[in-house]
Amino acid sequence: MNDEAIIDVRHLYKSFGDNHVLRDFSMTLAPAENLAVLGKSGSGKSVLIKCIVRLLPLDQGSIEVLHEDVGALDLDQLDELRARVGFLFQSNALYDSMTVRENLEFSLRRHWNAAQRKRGADAAVLEALTDVGLAHTVDMTPAELSGGMRKRIALARTLILRPSIILYDEPTTGLDPITSREISQLIVSVQQKYKTASIIISHDMHCIDITANRVIMLIDGKSYANDTYANLRKSADARIQEFFD
Amino acid sequence: MAQQKIYIRFLDEVGATTRFVLRFFHELIKPRQEYNEFFRQCYWIGYKSLPLVGITALIMGLVLTIQSRPTLVEFGAQALLPAMVSVSLVREISPVITALICAGKIGSGIGAELGSMRVTEQIDAMDVSGTNPFKYLIVTRVMATTLMLPVLSNLSNAIGLYGGYLGVSIRGHVSWHLYWTQVFNALSFGDVIPSLIKTFFFGFAIGIIGCYKGYHSSKGTEGVGRSANSAVVVASLLIFIIDLIAVQITDLLGLT
Ligand SMILES: Nc1ncnc2c1ncn2[C@@H]1O[C@H](COP(=O)(O)OP(=O)(O)O)[C@@H](O)[C@H]1O
Ligand SMILES: [Mg+2]
């Protein structure tokens, strides 16, 4: 469809028993693009990005990430690819038995060799933490951090591997409006600094307004609408307008 | 119908556990071992379980001696007390009790720890960062339990035999030297080696079941509790089954 696309999802089907979550869902993501995926709770947004990194197997269809067919890779190739795709969990999923430094260094253990780690790990940790404005928390544990700080640490943890793509699962859900805005702005500044592309799952319209170049609406397991925020806002379709009320 | 379902679920579970064991060996031989995490687990599993194992062994030795004395006295055989205590401790009681204690303490600990990492998506997070959580979490823990259980069991032997000495000396004096001479005369390699070998299997069973249950924990806090609980139940059962098999094998080999 689009040779430029760095994520290309085609005719994706995914069910859990009788629960048909995704039914013929297709989308593409262009380089350096911030794409928002909007949908009601339980519509399958998390399932979609979990399929993209093969945390969940898909039933039918195909997914290409960075021009590689995700379903066809063996485990080592998959690990290589995953290192180039950052993933922010809605729950952050910080390793709670480790300090912030260990959380960040953890991803390096596999993708850098011992000599590289010895030379560069400290600097890399510091740079990633500075990017999210939390260099002073390096020796704290996740339990000592606030919700917004944990979100930033989770972002720093994906940044340390310099991913080409970052997938955000509801990055502002559960945060207060001010922190939400800060996180949204952080997403934009990260994108500008590293020229990453991202998929941002959200139903927070402010976050989408700040971050997204384009919005896909996931309704009934399909890509129901695919346009800019401004155009969708003007749409007369009732199912689209629901989200703006 | 319901019975058939349980039957099928049981076979499913056995199949999944077998695949888990095969994956363990597959990952074990892959390069890049996680030595730091392995030693940390050895420390946690070995050193932290030592007090509990030690106290239990001391009491077992003591109680076993005190309780066996009247029977032996009846036959005028109280001189055989050290020999009897040492053989029963080393061959059976000490390895099995140590393994059961570790199933309770370590198996449940691993099940709960990995279970909560699973439900809070920490294992998924390791997965999507391409860091192979199986190698880091599972291989290190299973190796640590497999290697630490024989160590703990041997310490338990020594402490249990010391408990036996205390038990013997409560009634009538037996010299320290004489006690240990009798103990070592009674023990042969046929007692020590099979019991040592089976503790490796006990340790492997405790580690692999704890890891399997935790790694495949279902969502929610309830799932974590269930993982910890079934890790203990299944591992304890397996310990007895392994023990039964080990006894049969030593018997067949004529090592009795
Ligand atoms: N691992 C799973 N097993 C079974 N059902 C699941 C699983 N993950 C998600 N689902 C179901 O898929 C649907 C979509 O879930 P999800 O993608 O998490 O929704 P959301 O759009 O809010 O992120 C829900 O009905 C959920 O129950
Ligand atoms: Mg979700």
Quick: pLDDT tens for B64-88. Answer: 999 998 888 888 888 888 999 999 9
A233 — pLDDT class (breaks 50, 70, 90): confident
Ramachandran category for residue A34: left, alpha or beta (phi over 0 → left; psi -120 to 50 → alpha): beta
**Helix ranges (DSSP H) in chain B:** 2-28, 35-42, 50-74, 81-88, 94-102, 108-119, 122-128, 133, 140-170, 176-186, 189-215, 221-252
Segment A171-179 shows an average pLDDT of: 91
The verdict on pTM exceeding 0.95 is no
Cβ-based burial of B10 (10 A; exposed 0-12, middle 13-18, buried ≥19) = exposed
Give the pLDDT confidence of A64-93 residue by residue, as tens digits.
999 999 999 998 899 999 999 999 999 999
Contact residues for B245 (Cβ-Cβ < 8 A; gap 6+): none
Q: Is B98:B149 a contact under the CB 8 Å cutoff?
A: yes
Distance, in Å, from the CA atom of A194 to the CA atom of A166, rounded to the nearest integer, reads 11
| Gap between the Cα atoms of A234 and A231, Å rounded | 5
Residues B82-127 pLDDT 10s: 999 999 999 999 999 999 999 999 999 999 999 999 999 999 999 9
State the alpha helices, DSSP H only, in B137-175: 140-170
CB A232, CB A226: distance < 8 Å: no
Find the A225 Cα to ligand 2 centroid distance in Å. Answer: 19
What is the torsion angle, in degrees rounded to the nearest 10, for the CA atoms of residue B113, residue B118, residue B121 and residue B124?
Answer: 120
pLDDT digits (tens, 9 = 90+) for A26-39: 999 999 899 999 99
Q: Please tell me the distance from the alpha carbon of residue B110 to that of residue B23, in angstroms, as a whole number.
A: 18
Q: What is the mean pLDDT of residues A127-136?
A: 92
* CB of B127 less than 8 A from some CB of A: yes
- Please check the confidence at residue B1 and state whether its pLDDT lies above 60: no
B31 touches chain A (CB under 8 A): no
- Domain residues of chain B, as ranges? 2-252
- φ/ψ region of A224 (left if φ > 0, alpha if ψ in -120 to 50, else beta) reads alpha
DSSP A132: T
Six token digits for residue B34:
């996680």
Residues of A in contact with B127 (CB under 8 A): 55, 82
Please say whether the dihedral angle defined by the alpha carbons of residues B147, A95, B116 and B16, taken in this order, is positive or negative. negative
Pocket of ligand 1 from Cβ distances under 6 Å:
A 16, 19, 21, 39, 41-47
**Please, which residues have CB within 8 angstroms of residue A203's CB and are 6 or more apart in sequence?**
A38, A39, A40, A41, A170, A173, A243
Both tokens of residue B86? 């040492």
Instruction: Tell whether the torsion through CA atoms of B180, B181, B183 and B188 is positive or negative.
Output: positive
Average pLDDT score over chain A: 91
- Res. A1 pLDDT band, cuts 50 70 90: very low
Residues near A201 by Cβ (< 8 Å), separated by ≥ 6?
A36, A37, A39, A45, A46, A48, A49, A167, A168, A169, A170
Which residue puts its alpha carbon closest to atom 25 of ligand 1? A42
What's the A173 CA to ligand 2 centre distance in angstroms?
10
Ligand nearest the Cα of residue A17 is 1
Confidence class for position B14, pLDDT limits 50, 70, 90: very high
Q: Which residue's CA lies nearest to atom 6 of ligand 1?
A: A16
> What residues of chain A lie within 8 A of the CB of B125, using their CB?
87, 89, 93-95
Q: Give the gap in angstroms from C-alpha B129 to the nearest C-alpha of chain A.
A: 5
Q: Which ligand neighbours the alpha carbon of A173 most closely?
A: 2
**Is residue B7 scored above 60 in pLDDT?**
yes
Query: Which CATH architecture is the domain A31-57+72-241 placed in?
Result: 3-Layer(aba) Sandwich (3.40)
* Whether B108 contacts B232, CB under 8 Å: yes
Rounded to whole angstroms, the Cα distance separating A7 from A53 reads: 11
